[in-house]
Amino acid sequence: MPKRDGCPICGEPTQSEFKPFCSRGCKDRDLLQWLGEGYRVPGEAVDPNAQTGLDTGRDPD
């Protein structure tokens, strides 16, 4: 995979302090995309009401 040059948000040259971004603004913009679910990893839809089979540590009802 070839190495990218420039900020992944705006394409400007990166700054070592904010690497791989060019500035604090682009770094924060990227974080907000993750927090606001702007970036998503593809996968199957999950029913939030379905039982997962994971132990929650609670006693059964």
29 is in an annotated binding site: no
- CA 61 to chain CA centroid, Å, is 35
∠ CA(5), CA(10), CA(16), 5° rounding?
55
60 is in an annotated binding site: no
Query: What are the angstrom distances between the C-alpha of 2 and each of 14, 24, 55?
Result: 16, 25, 43
8 is in an annotated binding site: no
21 is in an annotated binding site: no
List residues forming the annotated binding site.
7, 10, 22, 26
List residues forming the annotated binding site for Zn(2+).
7, 10, 22, 26
